[in-house]
Each structure stands twice: as structure tokens, then as C-alpha cells.
Structure 1
Amino acid sequence: MKKGIIIIFILMALVAVAGCTSQSNEEKNKRFTGDNITFEYPADWVIANSQANDTIVAVADPKSVNPQTGYAQTLVVIQKREGDLYQMYNRNYAILFNNSSYQRISEGNITLGSFQALENTYFVTEGDVKKKQMAIWIQRGEEVYVILCSALASEFDKEKANFDIIIDSFNFV
């Protein structure tokens, strides 16, 4: 009987300690809210400057900055444009994949929250640097949002969990 009570107390202590040490996603991640969107991103990432047109925000892993260029190589850029999703998507990739620097890996339809979206994943080679990019295109009213995840091809799969934090928490406000 005493042995059973001791085991129960030990289990209760373990549960109490485990409960005290767990962290919620909100404590581990930062949150961006602006321009009618909100999403979480990794706590060790930063808001970055983007040279891409129509950028709402860019977030990047500061550890991925290329010392020669000064640019992060692991980043997510979110853009907004007015227009029709399918026309913009088709026109964009007709131009990109006409360039030998771009090589399609996959494309398809996905659901992001309650929105149907298009996803396109591809390699892009810039000089001797090979990147893997995944773009998610979403139509909301008259506006098209693009979530572009980019990393070195050799690092992309390792960064997928960080990209998923952003994609899975992306929402309109």
C-alpha cells in the first residue's frame, strides 16, 4: 500500500514538473499583424527588408545571411497584388519556367484555413547558388496574396518546420 502511494506521489510530481516546463507556441514564436494579415514566425527570426514588389512583410533567419551579399538565404516573403489568381499565377510561371534558371518540382491545390490556394515548388539557380522555393497563392476578394518560402536547396527540408509555422498560422484579419 505504501509503495502504491509513493508511486502515485512520484507520478504526480512528474506531471507537475512537466506541466510547469511546457511552453505554448505563442511563447516560442513571434507574431506579425498588419495589412489585414497575421501569422506566427520563429522566435529567432527577424523582420527583413525585401526588394520584391508588392511586399507586405518579409521574415528571415538572420543566421542564414550570406556574408558576401548581406542577404538572408532562408526567408519568407508575403506579397499582395490586385487581380485574378489564375491569370496572375499562370502568367508568372509561364515567364519563370521559360527561363532555364527555374525548374519546377511540383504544383497543386491546397487548403489554407478556409481558402483554396495554389502551391508551386521549384528550384532556382542564381550563379552558383541553388535555391528551393515554395509559393502559395491565395485569392481573397480582389486581392491575391503570395507566401514565398525560400532557402538554399540543401537546407530547404531542414527549414520546412519553420516555414510550416508561418503557413499554418497565416490568417486574414
Structure 2
Amino acid sequence: MKGIFKTIIVIVLLVILAFAAYSSGLLDTFTATGQTYESNGITFQYPDSWTEANCVSDGAIGAVVDSNNSNISVVIQQVPSEYGSDIQNACAVNDQFLSQSSNYVNIQEINSSIHNQSVVMHRYLVNEPDGSQKEHVATWIKMKDNKIYVILFSTPVNSYEQERSSYDLVAGTFNLTNNNTSLFPINI
């Protein structure tokens, strides 16, 4: 009888804990998938509070922006073939252009991987004309179509840590499509 009573108490406590975790939003990070962007041969997930945007930058093939702050965005760009076919070299060519501006401040450049695919992550600041600073993370990746893409995250410096998970969602789910066939294995 005591064993059954203990089991019932444990079950009731687990139900209460689960309800408390659900109510507080603790489970949101495990269940949130966001919205899906699928256009121009690419697909990725982005936060529910964001929206698709039109981007006029060179090579832009997709863009999303925080609905509450248009200074926070992620733009996907296809790198011009003139930059070469190697992500290290392409990133170096881009660095040369950036370093010509006195508004550019390099933070770091690291080699990493996303889903066992080599990437170059370049983090830098840009001093904006209005006196503010924006932090950028440019993730350079060569996909199975042999083209290089940049996943460019931009945010005011003071929002970087709070918004980084939004960038991680986009970068972690970025993929190419070809008639609904994946060209890049996603194993999240």
C-alpha cells in the first residue's frame, strides 16, 4: 500500500513540474521551430516573431528581419564567382573590401563546422553613420551545388547576446532545395 501511495505522489509531482515548466515557457526552447523560409532555392527556419524582408544587397537571395526591430536581420547571399571557389579565399577577398572602410572593426575569424560542413565565421563591428555600432556575423559556407553562400547576421551591439539564438536558428537550418530535394543533410 505504501508503494502505491509513493508512486501516486511521484506522478502527481511530475505532472505539477511539467505544468510549471510549460507555464513558464521553459519548454519553448525545446519545441520552438519558428517559421519556414523557402524561396530562391534555399530554405531555413526563423523565429515566429520575425518576418520575411526584401533585400537589395548584391547577391541577396533571402532575408528575414525582427518584426519588433528592423535593425536586427539575417540575409542570405550567394557569393559572386569572382571571389573564387574556396571559402577561405572568398572570405579574404571580402575582408579586403571591408578593411578599406574606417568604420570596420574586425573582432574574430574562426574556422568551424555546421552539420560536418566546413564554414568560416567572421565576426565584426561597423560604426554606422548615426553613431551607433552594429555587430555582424558572416558565416561563409560552400554547399553541394559548389556555390559559396554567406549567412549574414546584423544586430545593434547591445542586442547581440539576446538575438544570437535567432541567428543560430537560421544558420542551423539553412539548406538548399532542388525540386524539394535536400542538397545538404540537416542533422540537428
**Structure 1, unaligned runs of 5 or more:** 65-71
Q: Aligned partners of 1:97, 1:10: CA distance in 2, in Å?
A: 61
Q: Aligned partners of 2:14, 2:91: CA distance in 1, in Å?
A: 55
Q: Aligned partners of 1:102, 1:161: CA distance in 2, in Å?
A: 24
Cα deviation for residue 16 of structure 1 reads 7.1
Q: Say whether residues 1:134 and 2:142 are aligned partners.
A: no
Which residue is 1:32 aligned to?
37
Runs of 4+ off more than 6 Å:
18-21
DSSP 3-state at the match of 2:68: helix
Q: Say whether residues 1:170 and 2:177 are aligned partners.
A: no
Cα deviation for residue 155 of structure 1 reads 1.1
The within-5 A match list for 1:58-77 is 58-64=63-69, 72-77=70-75
Q: Retained in 2: the 8 A contact 1:30–1:40?
A: yes
In the TM superposition, what whole-angstrom CA distance separates every residue of 1:65-88 from its partner, at most 9, and x where no partner exists?
Answer: xxxxxxx20000001134223333
User: In the superposition, relative to structure 1, how do residues 13 and 121 fare at CA in structure 2: closer, same or farther (>3 Å)?
Assistant: closer
User: In the superposition, relative to structure 1, how do residues 125 and 9 fare at CA in structure 2: closer, same or farther (>3 Å)?
Assistant: closer
Which residue is 1:149 aligned to?
153
DSSP 3-state at the match of 1:43: coil
Q: Aligned partners of 2:7, 2:156: CA distance in 1, in Å?
A: 55
- RMSD of equivalent CA atoms: 2.3
**Structure 2, unaligned runs of 5 or more:** 177-181, 183-188
How many residues of Structure 1 are paired with residues of Structure 2 in the alignment? 164
In the TM superposition, what whole-angstrom CA distance separates every residue of 1:153-173 from its partner, at most 9, and x where no partner exists?
Answer: 111121111111111222232
TM-score, length-normalised on structure 2?
A: 0.77
User: In the superposition, relative to structure 1, how do residues 99 and 13 fare at CA in structure 2: closer, same or farther (>3 Å)?
Assistant: closer
TM-score, length-normalised on structure 1?
A: 0.83
Q: Aligned partners of 1:77, 1:110: CA distance in 2, in Å?
A: 20
Cα deviation for residue 47 of structure 1 reads 0.3
User: In the superposition, relative to structure 1, how do residues 4 and 36 fare at CA in structure 2: closer, same or farther (>3 Å)?
Assistant: same
* 1:144 maps to amino acid: I
The within-5 A match list for 1:85-164 is 85-127=87-129, 128-140=131-143, 141-164=145-168
Q: Retained in 2: the 8 A contact 1:82–1:142?
A: no
DSSP 3-state at the match of 1:94: helix
